[in-house]
Structure 1
Amino acid sequence: MADFDPDSPNDAWQLRSSDVVWRFGQDIKALHQTNPWPDRPLLPQAINSLMTELWDAGFSQTEIRDAFAAAVADMPRYAAGEEQRP
């Protein structure tokens, strides 16, 4: 694997992409942990809001649906059989 080059536009783009998604996950985790309405789980609302934001940003229903389906299909590999990260 090639080294990361901070001066490379492609590497900078990849870093930004990873950072945006990581920050989203951290923000959702913080909101989940401080949710004042435990009977209204945050994650379903957040994922639904993400879907609407993607739609409003111009992604097609097919692109959104395929991306969510691919992510769910990849979950067993990433989670290595664990239900939740220890």
Structure 2
Amino acid sequence: MNYTLNDRVALVTGASSGIGQATALALAEAGAKVAVAARRTDRLEALAEQASGEILASRPTSPTSDPCGRRSRIRSSASGSWTPW
């Protein structure tokens, strides 16, 4: 089968290796504009250069950031009292 994804946009997470990388390459080859995200940004830049289509590598936010305060809410509901991390 021959798929065409022209004028489509895709987001692939975990695209620095394995299935995520293969998926991003296949989508780009099929004509989609692909945004990729992963922790290893150096590999994403290499992926973008390797692709035959359009791939945009994005820089992830810090995994330790908690802009919405979710950890505090989870801990407060689990312990019965509000205790910030």
Band the TM-score falls in, shorter-chain normalisation = under 0.3
Question: Which protein has the bigger strand share?
Answer: 2
Query: Quick one: higher RCO (CA 8 Å, sep 6+), 1 or 2?
Result: 2
Task: Mark the structure with the bigger radius of gyration.
Answer: 2
TM-score of the two chains, using structure 2 as the length reference: 0.25
TM-score of the two chains, using structure 1 as the length reference: 0.25
